[in-house]
């Protein structure tokens, strides 16, 4: 069976107003995340898929994020199979942080990648 290469983008290519889906676990999200991102842990993803389709119902591209890119690659593949315009963010939050892209926390503490 031949699989199409997974659509992916470099962190620098994610627009500042881009739609980011963060599939990391709650503790990782709490440590630091992209402002305005939608958080659905990969472990809950299929059950909460409707939240994503609702948030992205305008057809905009979904940029899928995890810590380094493994979990987000699996979710991106699933989304593409569902007909969603989704791309995996290469390198995940580690690359995002390394590129100096902004991160926030809900607690107001300094953000970091767990």
**Known catalytic residues?**
66
Q: For residue 9, what are the β-bridge partners?
A: 89
Q: Which of 30, 5, 35, 43 is nearest to 96 (CA)?
A: 35
Per DSSP, the three-state class of 108 is: coil
Distance CA 49, CA 42 (A): 10
Strand (E) or helix (H) holding 103: none
**79, 62 Cβ separation under 8 angstroms:** yes
The residue count for the chain: 114
């Amino acid at each position: 069976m031949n699989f199409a290469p997974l659509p992916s983008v470099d962190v620098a290519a994610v627009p500042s107003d881009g739609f980011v889906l963060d599939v990391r676990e709650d503790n990782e999200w709490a440590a630091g995340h992209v402002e305005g991102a939608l958080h659905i842990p990969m472990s809950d993803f299929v059950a909460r898929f409707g939240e994503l389709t609702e948030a992205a119902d305008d057809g905009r591209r979904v940029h899928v994020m995890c810590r380094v890119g493994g979990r987000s690659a699996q979710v991106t593949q699933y989304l593409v199979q569902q007909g969603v315009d989704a791309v995996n963010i290469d390198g995940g939050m580690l690359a995002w942080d390394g590129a100096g892209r902004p991160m926030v926390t809900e607690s107001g503490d300094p953000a970091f990648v767990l």
